[in-house]
Amino acid sequence: MDAEDRARMALQAPAAAKENICSNAAGAGIYLQNSSAALKKMRSLFVRLINPIPITDPVEISSDELSLARELAFKHKVFPLVYSRIQSRQNFFYPARVVDEFLGQNRNLYLKGVALSAKMEGLEKEVSSLLASEGIPSVVIRGNAIAEELYGDPNSRTSSDIDILIKISDALHADQLLSDAGFHRNDSIPLKFWFYRIHHAVYHCPRTDNLIEIHWNFGIPSFFRLSSEEIWEGVITADSSRLRLSPEMSMLMLLIHHHMHSFRELKILADIIWSFHKYEDNIDWDSFYRKLSKAGLIKTALITISQIRSVWDEDIHDLKGLDLLYHKLQKNHRAGHILKSFFEMDLNKEYRFQHARDTLMARFALDGLSTIIRSYSKMLFPSPEVIKELYENKASWSLPMNYLKFIRWRVKSWRNTHTSEV
């Protein structure tokens, strides 16, 4: 089923039913009077539904369990995956009346996500074709691409934006190309400045009101030892000449993405555990361990796998690659009890993106003391090349004054951020 078919199916949903479901989407919370054992059983259904291990035995479920699973799914932005899993394995759940009722009540909300997914897929193809017309290779690295690759269903995951990877050497050309095509970059700062500071530029499509992130890296360049050129060594050709990330590079991307979101998003953690399941027999885990070390992702991997073991517990015993990698990491490295404890995933919490305390602690999850120190120093004292690109002044004599301008700008930005969080 292509994007147009999925959009057409979604738009055929009864409007009244859609309005009724959407008005209750977030919910006001479920107040259960059950015992802690019963509550744990209800929560375990949600965890099992986002687990990649296939459900092959009959599972008795109640309306309360499904209601809690729905609430947690919305809280952690994995509702499409939960609905898709119940729908595809509904013959294993009983009583059938409870399952049918849940699927019927939430069908139109799910189809709303299908329509969004189809819309995003159409824009992905448009941008990719635009880049290809000028000889710029590109790879869609998240959203529908992950859903299709990992979950086998493009409708099982939604994203708020479109993420496309290009080579850093093509970034300036792509910027001009997108601008000429009517896409608007979200800032007016010289693009070369961002090459040293972050990993992407954000563009707005006024026609569809979507955001497109054009990536030249997976994360902040000074955090990890993985260049744009090294990333493209891990790009392979899939069916119909479509480019995609190799299994190893896809795993590295997701781990860096998890770090960039301060280890707080269950949706990304689900992507990672599904990757372990999908690539179980495709990755040489000893070789992958060496790639983690080279890229500076040892502590990130340890924290991430610790979260997986905490959330899914005994449900991950079939993931041999994950188990092998974890024991190898544990044997040779230590992430620190404080970091593991701080980033423990609590399913009852709804974490706020880019919370100052979380981003601060995430820097301590970088490999090596020198990398941690450098990550802080570069916040106020980037390299001279960065300052020259930002202020578009190549003269060395202007550096002291421009450094002062930069520091004032950063301090003002932090004050505004801190005020908004208080």
DSSP designation for 220: -
Closest CA to 309 of 301, 123, 222, 66: 301
What's this model's pTM, rounded to 2 decimal places?
A: 0.86
Closest CA to 258 of 345, 328, 329: 345
Q: What is the pLDDT of residue 33?
A: 45
CA distance 171 to 201: 9
Q: Which two tokens stand for residue 194?
A: 């961002």
CA distance 330 to 298: 10
| pLDDT band, residue 348 (cuts 50/70/90) | confident
pLDDT in tens, 215-263: 999 999 899 999 999 999 999 997 777 899 999 999 999 999 999 999 9
pLDDT in tens, 42-91: 678 999 999 998 888 999 999 999 999 999 999 999 999 999 999 999 99
- Between 4-8, 196-200, 360-364, the lowest mean confidence (pLDDT) is in 4-8
37 pLDDT exceeds 90? no
pLDDT in tens, 2-26: 544 554 444 444 433 333 333 344 4
Look-up of token digits 């595809």: 88
Partners of 153 in beta bridges: none
**Percentage of the chain exceeding pLDDT 70:** 87
Backbone angles phi, psi at 212, to 5 degrees: -120, 125
Q: What is the pLDDT of residue 178?
A: 97
CA distance 389 to 19: 50
